[in-house]
């Protein structure tokens, strides 16, 4: 969405991510609290986690539709990300259905530990493998974005002020003092600022 300068609010993505994060925490806690592995690690917390996973999946589908409707605003070369999400969503739904059938339907064939191996392979394992391969494959084909170049451009007002100072100093017979160099403001995280600070120090010493 950088072409239009009107991106979606980051709060939408954070909200969907929050549902997925809470679902993951509940699933892990529920699985570790259940000491009976033969029951398939199913309890109230894991069931609530599955419901939240489904809510997060619906949220991702909504975001996918919104972003796809503005696909012309996506930068060139990044449309393949939509393809990765579009392929992954149906596979994730099949994986969720597999978990829902056993967690809420209590079907022994869908037990991850003692259930039917063929069903687990077709509805769980293969989906996870394909999703990982698709995301990795498309991610590796994306071009690396060039790093931002930091250049200092003097404004028209500063140039005019420099010329006025030079003229006044010449008329008074004084040697004009060089204008003190002001470092441009840097944007970015602490690591990038530290790197640019070191670059500025090296440039000043060369002068």
Q: What is the pLDDT of residues 89-111, one digit of tens each?
A: 999 999 999 989 988 887 888 88
Query: Is the Cβ–Cβ distance between 70 and 1 less than 8 Å?
Result: yes
Quick check: is 93 in a domain?
Answer: yes
**Averaged pLDDT for residues 71-100:** 89
- DSSP-based three-state secondary structure for 204: helix
Quick check: is 33 in a domain?
Answer: yes
- Neighbouring C-beta atoms of residue 101, cutoff 10 Å: 16
pTM strictly above 0.95: no
**43 Cβ neighbours under 8 A, 6+ residues apart:** 30, 33, 34
Cα distance between residue 120 and residue 113, in whole Å: 10
Quick check: is 123 in a domain?
Answer: yes
pLDDT over 60 at 158, yes or no: no
More confident residue, 41 or 122: 122
Quick check: is 94 in a domain?
Answer: yes
Quick check: is 83 in a domain?
Answer: yes
For 53, how many CA atoms within 13 A lie in the half-sphere containing its CB? 22
In the prediction, which pLDDT does 173 show? Answer: 52
**Averaged pLDDT for residues 2-7:** 61
Quick check: is 167 in a domain?
Answer: no
How many structural domains does the chain have? 1
- Of the chain, the end-to-end C-alpha distance in Å amounts to 41
pLDDT band at 169 (very low <50, low <70, confident <90, very high): very low
Quick check: is 193 in a domain?
Answer: no
**Parent domain of 84:** 10-141
Quick check: is 179 in a domain?
Answer: no
* Sign of the dihedral defined by the CA atoms of residues 129, 135, 138, 141, in that order: negative
How buried is 205 (Cβ within 10 angstroms: 0-12 exposed, 13-18 middle, 19+ buried)? exposed
In the prediction, which pLDDT does 107 show? Answer: 82
How buried is 52 (Cβ within 10 angstroms: 0-12 exposed, 13-18 middle, 19+ buried)? buried
* Sign of the dihedral defined by the CA atoms of residues 195, 196, 199, 204, in that order: negative
More confident residue, 157 or 61: 61
How buried is 162 (Cβ within 10 angstroms: 0-12 exposed, 13-18 middle, 19+ buried)? middle
Burial 107-145 (b: 16+ CB within 10 A, else e): eeebbeeebeeebbeebbeebeeebeebeeebeeeeeee
53-57, 80-84, 101-105, 159-163 — most confident range? 53-57
């Amino acid at each position: 969405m950088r072409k239009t300068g009107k991106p979606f609010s980051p709060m939408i993505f954070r909200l969907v991510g929050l549902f997925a994060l809470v679902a993951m925490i509940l699933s892990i806690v529920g699985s570790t609290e259940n000491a009976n592995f033969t029951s398939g690690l199913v309890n109230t917390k894991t069931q609530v986690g599955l419901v939240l996973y489904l809510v997060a999946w619906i949220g991702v589908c909504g975001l996918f539709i919104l972003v796809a409707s503005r696909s012309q605003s996506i930068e060139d070369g990044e449309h393949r990300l939509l393809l990765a999400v579009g392929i992954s969503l149906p596979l994730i739904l099949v994986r969720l259905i597999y978990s829902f059938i056993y967690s809420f339907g209590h079907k022994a064939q869908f037990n991850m530990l003692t259930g039917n191996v063929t069903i687990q392979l077709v509805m769980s394992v293969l989906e996870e493998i394909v999703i990982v391969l698709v995301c990795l494959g498309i991610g590796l084909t994306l071009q690396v974005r060039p790093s931002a170049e930091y250049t200092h451009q003097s404004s028209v007002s500063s140039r005019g002020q420099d010329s006025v100072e030079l003229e006044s100093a010449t008329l008074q017979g004084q040697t004009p003092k060089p204008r003190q160099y002001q470092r441009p403001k840097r944007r970015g995280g602490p690591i990038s600022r530290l790197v640019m600070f070191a670059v500025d120090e090296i440039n000043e010493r060369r002068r």
